[in-house]
């Protein structure tokens, strides 16, 4: 049995919603999977990936087999990786979700959607990327260490999400290591109010609130120090009419939320970035993916 899987990129945190908010984007990895008596893993697009049992898709598939009391002798995997690695666009979550969805399908779908959301979060450690990758839309999720309590909302807006991606990586462990161990009470209140404002404003069309809603005191001020000229990229995006700008996931990608009618935003960004000596940053326009991971 051969299956083909499409997995969306994701953008997590959305400013103030640290480890709780995320959304899926129309930007995809593809995986061909079938059972085999050995591990046979290859890249269809030349991307460098682990081709042995360390491959995260294989690891996740094996975890699901073990949960179901089954033995996995091997898999044939062929990956097409459009989502760039270590850029804050959910590349690792896409691998985890691909492994779980593929393995669950091979076994006849014994696990429910809730089971898969829980297992993905246990593997990743938090659900802000894995949940929207699985479910699509914008997802609010709380992980209590065992279960994920989640709400998915499909979003149909006149918005586009413009990823401004630098030509360097920022590993998640480094981006987490820079965060403080404790925060002042006022900073927690600051983020809670803005995270709530973000979801409500996005879903009701009060886009003028987004610039305030993406402000954050828990992670972005610290991670900006690891992303050279990040504040300048924010300023350029606001100059060209973005509703809100935030660091996507752990970074270093910067995400701008833009009205669809602002049709020349991407071109203006590229021009301004080049003029500022930031030609290594690429600009890509996406919309929200409401389907999540699917078999094709």
* pLDDT higher than threshold 90 for residue 59: yes
The token pair at 5 is: 């899987």
Which band of pLDDT confidence, cut at 50, 70 and 90, is reported for residue 184? Answer: very high
Compute the 3-state secondary structure of the chain and give helix, strand, coil in percent, each to the nearest 5: 35, 25, 40
**For 247-264, how does the pLDDT look when each residue is reduced to its tens digit (9 = 90+)?**
999 999 999 999 999 999
Q: Can you give the pLDDT at residue 47?
A: 86
Q: Are strands 294-295 and 254-259 parallel, antiparallel or unpaired?
A: unpaired
Among candidate residues 39, 49, 45, 50, the one with its CA nearest the CA of residue 74: 39
Strand partners, 255: 163, 246
Q: Please compute the mean of the pLDDT values over residues 123-139 and round it to a whole number.
A: 96
d(CA 74, CA 76): 7
* pLDDT higher than threshold 90 for residue 146: no
Q: Can you give the pLDDT at residue 155?
A: 87
Average pLDDT, the chain: 96
**For 228-242, how does the pLDDT look when each residue is reduced to its tens digit (9 = 90+)?**
999 999 999 999 999
3 state DSSP class of 266:
helix
Q: Give percent above pLDDT 70 in the chain.
A: 100
Q: Can you give the pLDDT at residue 206?
A: 95
Q: Give percent above pLDDT 90 in the chain.
A: 94
**For 262-279, how does the pLDDT look when each residue is reduced to its tens digit (9 = 90+)?**
999 999 999 999 999 999
Among candidate residues 234, 253, 183, the one with its CA nearest the CA of residue 13: 253
Q: Please compute the mean of the pLDDT values over residues 118-141 and round it to a whole number.
A: 96
Among candidate residues 251, 203, 188, the one with its CA nearest the CA of residue 223: 251
* pLDDT higher than threshold 90 for residue 220: yes
Which domains does the chain show, CATH number per domain?
2-154+291-295 (3.30.230.10), 159-286 (3.30.70.890)
d(CA 42, CA 56): 13
Q: Please compute the mean of the pLDDT values over residues 25-38 and round it to a whole number.
A: 96
d(CA 71, CA 238): 53
Strand partners, 140: 21, 151
Q: How many CA atoms are closer than 13 Å to the CA of 225, on its beta-carbon side?
A: 9
Q: Can you give the pLDDT at residue 191?
A: 96
Q: Can you give the pLDDT at residue 145?
A: 83
* pLDDT higher than threshold 90 for residue 157: no
Q: Can you give the pLDDT at residue 172?
A: 87
Q: What is the DSSP letter of 84?
A: P
Q: Can you give the pLDDT at residue 289?
A: 97
Among candidate residues 111, 102, 114, the one with its CA nearest the CA of residue 75: 102
C-alpha angle 285-288-294 in degrees, rounded to nearest 5: 115
Q: Please compute the mean of the pLDDT values over residues 93-116 and round it to a whole number.
A: 98
3 state DSSP class of 11:
strand
pTM (global) more than 0.85: yes
Q: Can you give the pLDDT at residue 223?
A: 97
SS (H, E, C) 165-230: ECCCCCCHHHHHHCCCCCCCHHHHHHHHHHHHHHHHHHHHCCHHHHHHHCCCCCCHHHHHHHCCCH
């Amino acid at each position: 049995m051969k299956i083909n899987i499409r997995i969306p990129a994701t953008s997590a945190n959305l400013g103030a919603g640290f480890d709780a908010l995320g959304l899926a984007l129309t930007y995809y990895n593809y995986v061909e999977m079938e059972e085999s008596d050995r591990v046979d893993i290859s890249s269809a697009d030349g991307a460098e990936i682990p081709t042995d049992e360390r491959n995260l898709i294989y690891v996740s598939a094996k975890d699901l087999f073990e949960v179901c009391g089954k033995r996995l002798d091997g898999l044939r995997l062929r990956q097409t990786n459009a989502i760039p690695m270590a850029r804050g666009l959910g590349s690792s979550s896409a691998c985890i979700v691909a492994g779980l969805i593929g393995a669950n399908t091979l076994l006849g779908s014994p696990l429910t959607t809730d089971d898969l959301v829980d297992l993905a979060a246990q593997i990743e450690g938090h659900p802000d990327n894995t949940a929207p990758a699985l479910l699509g839309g914008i997802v609010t999720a709380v992980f209590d260490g065992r279960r994920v309590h989640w709400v998915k909302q499909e979003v149909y807006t006149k918005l586009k999400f413009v990823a401004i991606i630098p030509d360097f990586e920022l590993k998640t462990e480094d981006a987490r290591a820079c965060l403080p161990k404790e925060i002042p009470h006022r900073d927690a209140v600051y983020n809670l109010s803005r995270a709530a404002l973000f979801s409500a404003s996005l879903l009701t069309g009060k886009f003028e609130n987004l610039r305030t809603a993406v402000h954050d005191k828990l992670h972005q001020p610290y991670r900006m120090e690891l992303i050279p000229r990040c504040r300048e990229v924010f300023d350029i995006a606001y100059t060209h009419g973005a509703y809100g700008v935030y660091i996507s996931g752990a970074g270093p990608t910067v995400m701008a939320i833009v009205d669809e009618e602002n049709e020349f935003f991407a071109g203006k960004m590229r021009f301004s970035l080049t003029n500022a000596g930031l030609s290594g940053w690429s600009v890509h326009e996406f919309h929200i993916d409401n389907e999540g991971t699917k078999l094709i």
